[in-house]
Amino acid sequence: MKTVIKGYKYRIYPTDEQKELINKTFGCSRFVHNYFLAMKIELYKTEQKSLSYSKCSSLLTELKKEKEWLKEVDKFALQNSLKDLNTAYQNFFREHKKGNTNQGFPKFKSKKNNYKSYRTNFTNNNIEIDFEKGQIKLPKLKWIKCKTHRKFTGKILSVTISQVPSGKYYVSLNVECEHEELPKANNSIGLDLGISDLLITSNGQTFENNKLTYKYEKKLAKLQRQLSKKQKGSKNFNKQRIKIAKLHEKITNIRVDNLHKISSQIVKENQFIFSEDLNIKGMIKNPKLAKSIQDVSWYELIRQLQYKSKWNNRVYHKVDRFYASSQICNNCNYKNEKIKNLSIRKWTCPECGTYHNRDINASINILNQGLKDLELAV
Ligand SMILES: [Zn+2]
């Protein structure tokens, strides 16, 4: 047994009164974020100084005396808003120093953003969940009706309350649980994150990403075309927007479920799991690909593989500096420069005559390199 932190997400059904308070908390959290972001920027401009979290925190206490309405909402929500701003700030400067320009500067939050959330913390039984009655108790809100489809036993650490673009409300709980590890597995596997398929393994297994959601994506495109003909801000426009948001949610759910199935299977069957480093993969540009979608799936899959490996005592290792994984023959190590061309799916090694499927060959190379990295190669 091992203590791990697991996430549980449930839909909640707040009353009108509760909705009002939740929306107010979203607003206050956003206010705190924007207020201190502006202050940080100003202070840096005028005095080249930074503002620490503890300084912000004591300023927030002062601010609450001045703006009484901030006291009406969950105090943890405001503190966490400040903490998250601070983290975003630190991440930006840390990555910037390293020369990584992907990490954006923290942004001001807009009222118009259709995804809203705040996070609260557990203390003195301020949060409780009742699986029998299907309800959850949250700070300031008291009991809210909740669809508790998955039970857990453990200690709740924090809860994020969110409203998604279709208008539905959710809670995401971080729970400290006891986890029973999977028995040790005997296999090792290399994973090639594919362009046309989501994933190809060194065993030759292919996992798809798009087929499951293809019909919904076509429907989505149709709904979006219809939306473009409606007058922005009108009643019908808004109705259509919600329809689109609901379909988006459905597609995302199917996709994430699929990724869970894949990552669970891989972790169950293998003791050593190897993949490429995504920063390298990201350099490949393919205009034909709905790249953002594929990227999101890759990152989510890696995230799941990482934590599931950790929970079950697996070794998940990223192979880096592996630009040429598809060009090298896994049998004789001959480097075939022609394979740079992404349209070549199958090739025969001119040196040893082995016939290759491009992606399977790449994943075998990843497996071999991973085993070498960990000095497990025989
Ligand atoms: Zn060869």
What secondary structure, in 3-state letters, does 204-263 show?
CCEECCCHHHHHHHHHHHHHHHHHHCCCCCCHHHHHHHHHHHHHHHHHHHHHHHHHHHHH
Residue 210 — very low, low, confident or very high, per pLDDT cuts 50/70/90? Answer: low
CA of 315 to the centre of ligand 1 (A): 29
Q: Kindly state the percentage of the chain with pLDDT values over 70.
A: 93
Expressed in angstroms and rounded, the spacing between residue 280 Cα and the centre of ligand 1 is 24
**pLDDT of the residue at 321:** 59
Whether 8 and 152 map to the same domain: the answer is yes
> What average pLDDT does the segment 161-173 reach?
96
| Domain edge (last residue) among 151, 179, 207 | 179
Q: What is the pLDDT of residues 322-367, one digit of tens each?
A: 667 889 999 999 999 888 887 888 999 999 999 999 989 999 999 9
Mean pLDDT on 92-112: 84
* Residue 37 tokens, joined: 């972001």
pLDDT higher than 50, residue 283: no
Same domain flag for 59 and 203: no
Which of 145, 179, 213 marks a domain boundary? Answer: 179
- Ligand 1 centre and the CA of 25: distance in Å? 62
Average pLDDT score, the chain: 90
For residue 6, give both structure tokens. Answer: 């697991």
Q: For residue 333, how far is its CA from the centre of ligand 1 (angstroms)? A: 6
Query: Are residues 275 and 130 located together in one domain of the fold?
Result: no
263 pLDDT higher than 90: yes
Same domain, 68 and 217: no
End residue of a domain, out of 179, 198, 217: 179
Same domain, 174 and 208: no
Residues 47 and 164 both lie in one domain: yes
**pLDDT band at residue 215, thresholds of 50, 70 and 90?**
confident
Cα-to-centroid distance, 335 and ligand 1 (Å): 8
Q: Is 174 in the same domain as 193?
A: no
Catalytic residue numbers, as ranges: 192, 276, 359
- Give the distance (Å) from ligand 1 centre to CA of residue 362: 13
pLDDT at 56: 94
Instruction: Report strand pairing: 270-276 vs 315-319.
Output: parallel
How remote is the C-alpha of 237 from its chain's centroid? Answer: 29
Ligand 1 centroid to residue 188 C-alpha, Å: 22
Tally: H helices and E strands in the chain: 8, 14
The mean pLDDT value for 175-181 works out to: 95
Q: State whether 306 and 322 are in the same domain.
A: yes
Q: How confident is the model at residue 287 (pLDDT cuts 50, 70, 90)?
A: very low
Are 105 and 56 in contact by the 8 Å Cβ rule? The answer is no
Cα 325 to averaged position of ligand 1 atoms, centre (Å): 13
Compute the distance from residue 55 Cα to the ligand 1 centre, in Å.
Answer: 62
Domain count, the chain: 2
- pLDDT tens per residue across span 135-157: 999 999 999 999 998 999 999 99
Q: Is 168 found in the same domain as 188?
A: no
Same domain assignment for residues 151 and 230:
no
| Residue 75 in this model has a pLDDT that exceeds 60 | yes
What's the rounded mean pLDDT across residues 165-193? 95
Å from CA of 160 to ligand 1 middle = 53
- Are 58 and 65 within 8 A, CB to CB? no
Predicted confidence (pLDDT) at residue 298 exceeds the cutoff of 60: yes
Judged against a pLDDT cut of 60, whether residue 282 lies above it is answered with: no
- Assess whether 76 and 158 both reside in one domain: yes
C-alpha 137/C-alpha 222 separation (Å) is 41
Domain of residue 280: give its range: 182-378
* CB-CB contact of 236 with 230 (8 Å): yes
Q: Are residues 56 and 107 in the same domain?
A: yes
Res. 288: pLDDT tops 60 = no
Ion ligand 1 nearby residues (CB, 5 A) = 329, 331-332, 334, 349, 351-352, 354
Q: What is the mean pLDDT of residues 167-171?
A: 96
Beta strands in the chain (DSSP E): 2-13, 116-121, 128-130, 135-138, 142-146, 155-163, 169-179, 187-193, 199-201, 206-207, 270-276, 315-319, 346-348, 355-357
Rounded to two decimals, what is the model's pTM?
A: 0.83
